[in-house]
Amino acid sequence: MRKSRTEKSKGRIKEAAGKSTGDRMMEAEGKADKAKGTAREAMEKVHEAAGKAGEAMKRRAS
């Protein structure tokens, strides 16, 4: 989850910097970085849930 938080933070900073300087490209990059961070976070949560489900199935089987 560390990478997703870092990416989202980087995106917020870029977006804010772009807004304050009027740099629309930087603002767009910031929004894209935030979206990538959110997507990565969702993927990590799904991966974690799948791992827990697998462990539960192993316990039930034994």
What distance in Å separates the CA atoms of residue 29 and residue 10, rounded to the nearest whole number?
10
pLDDT score at 1: 74
Determine the residue type at 25. M
Residue 31 CA, chain-centre distance (Å), reads 12
pLDDT (tens digit per residue) in 15-48: 999 999 999 999 999 999 999 999 999 999 999 9
Task: Supply φ then ψ for residue 22, to 5 degrees.
Answer: 80, 15
pLDDT in tens, 41-57: 999 999 999 989 888 88
The residue among 46, 27, 2, 18 whose CA lies nearest residue 37 is 2
Q: What integer pLDDT is reported at residue 20 of this predicted model?
A: 97
Distance (Å, whole) CA 26 – CA 4:
19
pTM above 0.85, yes or no: no
